[in-house]
Chain A
Amino acid sequence: MVSTRYVNETVKIRRRVLTEVARLAMSGKLTQEVDDLPEKLVSMGNQRYRCCEYKEKAIYAERIKLALGLAQKSEYKKRRLSDLLSIALEYPDLGENQINIIDIACEGCPINKFFVTNACQNCLAHACQNACPRDAISVVQEQAYIDQNRCIECGLCKKSCPYNAIVEINRPCEASCQIGAIKSDTDRKATIDYNKCVECGACVIGCPYGAISHPSQIVKVIDYLKNNQVYAILAPAFIGQLGQKDNPGPVLRALEKLGFTKVVEVALGADIVSLEEAEEFFEKVPEQLKFMTSSCCPSFVNLIKKHYPELERHMSSTVSPMVAIAKYLKQKDPDYKVVFIGPCIAKKSEAWESGIVDAVLTFEELTAMLVAAGINVMELETEKGLENNVSGAGRGFAQAGGVAQAVGKVLENKEIIWTPINAQGLNECTELLNGLRKGKCEANFLEGMACVGGCLGGPGTLMDGKITRRFLQNICQKSEKQSAQDNNSAQIIRKDVGKGLHREK
């Protein structure tokens, strides 16, 4: 995951599309006006990027399909948006593969990894030729030339050149994917190997053409808000996302204005999970298992399931805070819809799999909805604040290290060996999982988060995680209760939900 965030043009385009689709859905004008939307969006951008306006519009049409909740499927290609509306408004399940490549938006970036630039002096030493283990380099027109059929992409030529004349070119999508799930197909367009993809969303941020995206459920949620009682379950990473520093009040007020019946913090679910996971750890480690891993980050869960299936029994069977709180709310108010709002794309699959969360929005999608509804969070005055039924440790789940800390606090007075370690970003996660697999790592609890910085660095955030971390830490400190153990509400709910707090095997 990229840690420094910047709202570049591809991000703006995605956000404009979401806002305009939300606007039409809210005013009930999708049917009449959706076909005009590509043209409108082309005129809203101040620059042209593609070869012609027609391609630009065609790409917008695909982005609109995603915003309507339609995955990139061949049967949706070359069909008018208004024809697809009937399918979109039945809200098809998003299923398990959220990351979509918009074919026509992918520029098929060059795939020759090493490339000789004009800085090559055709020197006498020819260090590159000497370094190449495959004799792939010759001199053509007074410059080194790499025979791409022979090149094995080892990079020795680049390292050896005293002029730094050989550059390494990585496709940004491939470079951003830390588990090698993106490759180019025969026509050089990117394709995702869904057997490997863990839906971290790094490629969505990485692609400079905005060709990788994910379907949205904004239209479904707008429908819920019009016709149902709806719970917003708000992930703790929300602090500071809307430019409100560490003041949560205006965001809570904005959700109410948007039409949510009640807002519940997912951090309450985190408290429940801390208690449950601590007990699980106490029971299983070290007698049954040498170590245990966390299970709240859906990308990390995907990583273990898809890349380390032999370690799956080490993964805590406790559900995620999202599922824990959703189960409780559905038990209490079965007629309510439950919408998770967070920083995460992978949560969409997890929600679908759980069958208990009705829809998932990213903070980005939520903000697009607020803009469409004309709600300016900066202008809302409110006395609202967070409730006292959540501990600071529970809210801390949103940052790297927060889960281990919260579980550790629950275990504080128990006589056990507790040696936690935390991994943030898929690189660290794989490194530590490899270590644990080989028995080279001494830790007995691994907290894994697929994004650098934890959820605060998620692909659905609007702010740099380094900045929001300060706000989150303020909120955690200010919380009346510090540990899940002090939280009576969490203890009661935990008993209520009971066995539902564990994944089915």
Chain B
Amino acid sequence: MRKVKLEICSGTSCHLMGSFDLNQVVNNLKPQYKEHLEISVIPCLGECGEGPNIRFNGILYTQVTPERLKKMIIQSTQK
């Protein structure tokens, strides 16, 4: 199975809006989900102020909540 690419912005603007909570979602994932992910932490995704931002399979998502990220990961790895 092809890996799902997840980039989490950890720039100061996103950090202030809680990007670390998104990191924690990833850190606490069960191995069955985690093994499908290729995770990287990015210093800026260029949408400061709309954070926390992620790029998921090349598509930018803004104002991401931990719940939403969890759902996205689970859905994409079930396909």
Contact = CB atoms under 8 A, between A and B. Distances in A.
A-B interaction: yes
Interface of A: 6-7, 11-12, 15, 19, 46, 242-243, 254, 364, 367-368, 370-371, 374-379, 462-463
A12 B11 contact: no
Given A376-B44, A379-B43, A379-B44, A243 B20 contact: yes
Give the interface SS of chain A, mostly helix, strand, loop or mixed: helix
Interface centre among B15, B44, B63 (most CB of A within 10 A): B15
A490 B74 CA distance: 54
Interface string B1-22: 0000000001111011111110
A378 B10 contact: yes
A392 B21 CA distance: 29
B63 A371 contact: no
Contact of A376 (B12, B19, B49, B63): B12
A366 to B, nearest CB: 10
A243 B18 contact: no
Contacts of B20: 7, 243, 462-463
B60 interface: no
B19 A243 contact: yes
B17 A367 contact: no
B17 A462 contact: no
A377 B17 contact: no
B16 A15 contact: yes
A6 B19 contact: no
**6 closest Cβ contacts across the A-B interface?**
A7-B18, A378-B43, A243-B15, A376-B11, A371-B13, A377-B12
Contacts of B16: 15, 19, 364, 367-368, 371, 462
Nearest to A241: B15
B14 to A, nearest CB: 9
Contacts of A15: 16-17
Contact of A379 (B11, B18, B21): B11
Contacts of A367: 12, 15-16
Nearest to B43: A378
Nearest to A368: B16
Contacts of A377: 11-12, 15
B51 to A, nearest CB: 9
Contacts of B48: 371, 374, 376
A12 B17 CA distance: 6
A375 B16 CA distance: 12
Interface centre among A242, A367, A368, A371 (most CB of B within 10 A): A371
A112 B43 CA distance: 48
A240 to B, nearest CB: 10
Contacts of A370: 12
6 contacts: A11-B18, A12-B18, A367-B16, A377-B12, A378-B43, A379-B11
A375 to B, nearest CB: 7
A371 B12 contact: yes
Contacts of A368: 16
A19 B19 CA distance: 16
Contacts of A12: 17-18
Given A243-B20, A371-B48, A375-B12, 4 more contacts: A370-B12, A371-B13, A377-B15, A462-B15
Contacts of A46: 63
B25 to A, nearest CB: 11
Interface string B54-77: 000000000100100000000000
A462 B17 CA distance: 10
Nearest to B66: A6
A96 B10 CA distance: 36
Nearest to A370: B12
A7 B43 contact: no
A6 B21 CA distance: 7
Nearest to B9: A378
B12 A242 contact: yes
